[in-house]
Structure 1
């Protein structure tokens, strides 16, 4: 598998990153994952805008020529790995770069950021979209800048692993008595034909797919309330679903071993799934 690292296309086995890279030492960087369908990057512009916002938040200065080359690099990487047909995903990571000695302050003078891209085949979780998934509730112990898509994903990883060890698919993360996100997706609840979701803030990552769901809701005249779902209100919902780049629109049907709603994907999530497939596959 060919990857891109700091100006070169190399075999992934030959790609090397310094132990002094700030991403390795501090998790000092951001990332994006973009869905690809038959060589077309889904919502590429939105991913690049969020990338720019993340870099600005971390005060990582990426040269314009490098930034503007990312779309071309992405397509060349797909071609080199014979992934222009079917489905794929592109992973992009940018760190502050390599600096020595290790210090908690930014390198002075500044160093060149490290840029890494890889691609992989992707298979949608089609069956789970039909049946729904089971989850547990967990405390949201992440930092309070979840709106920045950084590579610091240890709390997310531990939460997802805890869910797997409990024999379920994922988790609902709860902070101050309200549901924020899953370890890797946004969350929407449905009550009386309306959507409820956590308002855009520093406590959630405003996902690209979340934005698509909001567009679909407007098209279908589904009311949207940007109100957090309280933990004690969870089983008063009619439906619940995740949204994410590699999650798509995924119904949640069982929480902590108890059916939510009917225990099956409901009509609202099905209608949103149908419209989302149109967006994704044209």
Structure 2
């Protein structure tokens, strides 16, 4: 039986009962992280913790990083899943529905669960198709908020179109995917949107940039157009669960030869060595 965590208790998964007055339910009022466990080790653990704390601070929730670290370690040890995705969220707390913040003394509520997950081997080898869509989300995308309705609608549009992901753009300039960051390679240079309020600064994104720099691959963090994306030599998307996944077509336009490119493969190999 899996063990989950809610509001101060480790419980068997089917015993968890989320309070309907939890502001995560009413308003999506909280933040979250998903971390990857490889061979019993939490990958890029401290980077995820730091981003969770920063996201919470942005929406005026105070959390104890050491407490969160302890919960996540306990979740890993109690469930004994060597390869898994561990989810943790922090809401503003439990109180009757009102748009104002809860009264003083209401404490944040932590929820955590874990699922066994396999690496996306086929997608990383064969690549995926994507479509482009207007980015109509809010202007604080750097916060890893529980509010994911727009992302969900856009992801479903992609699936309905026969694609794996929707690559978003504002006024024709690519931002990110619904659940991924986007990279384009042109003439040996790795391009990706700068880390600002229009994208989530993905932990895998940051890791890939470091890998590229170690491999002497030039990196340019600057917005590029949808046309540039479609004309790139290679394109790939990154996330905690997708790792480095090649994109073989954008809006049914083949990228390069329609297969994973050499720079992408080089980065995949370096990632493999790092996990």
Specify if TM > 0.5: yes
- Further displaced range: 69-78 or 157-166: 69-78
Q: Which residue of 2 aligns with 1:91?
A: 87
1:88-167 aligned at under 5 Å gives the runs 88-100=84-96, 102-167=97-162
Structure 1 unaligned runs (5+)?
A: none
237, 240, 259: which one pairs with 2:235? 240
Return the alpha-carbon distance in structure 1 between the equivalents of residues 227 and 240 of structure 2: 29
TM-score, normalization by structure 1: 0.94
Contact 1:235 1:261 in 2 (8 A): no
Q: Which residue of 1 aligns with 2:253?
A: 258
Instruction: Name the count of aligned residue pairs.
Output: 274
Q: Which residue of 2 aligns with 1:193?
A: 188
1:172-183 aligned at under 5 Å gives the runs 172-183=167-178
Return the alpha-carbon distance in structure 2 between the equivalents of residues 151 and 139 of structure 1: 21
Return the alpha-carbon distance in structure 1 between the equivalents of residues 232 and 98 of structure 2: 48
Q: Which residue of 1 aligns with 2:221?
A: 226
Contact 1:164 1:170 in 2 (8 A): yes
SS of 1:141's equivalent in the other structure is: coil
1:110 deviates by 4.0
RMSD over aligned Cα, in angstroms? 1.1
Q: Which residue of 1 aligns with 2:67?
A: 69
TM-score, normalization by structure 2: 0.97
Return the alpha-carbon distance in structure 2 between the equivalents of residues 234 and 121 of structure 1: 34
Return the alpha-carbon distance in structure 2 between the equivalents of residues 196 and 122 of structure 1: 29
Return the alpha-carbon distance in structure 1 between the equivalents of residues 239 and 229 of structure 2: 21
Structure 2 unaligned runs (5+)?
A: none
The answer as to 2:270 corresponding to 1:272 is no
Return the alpha-carbon distance in structure 2 between the equivalents of residues 120 and 49 of structure 1: 22
- Further displaced range: 49-58 or 164-173: 164-173
SS of 2:14's equivalent in the other structure is: coil
Return the alpha-carbon distance in structure 2 between the equivalents of residues 163 and 110 of structure 1: 43
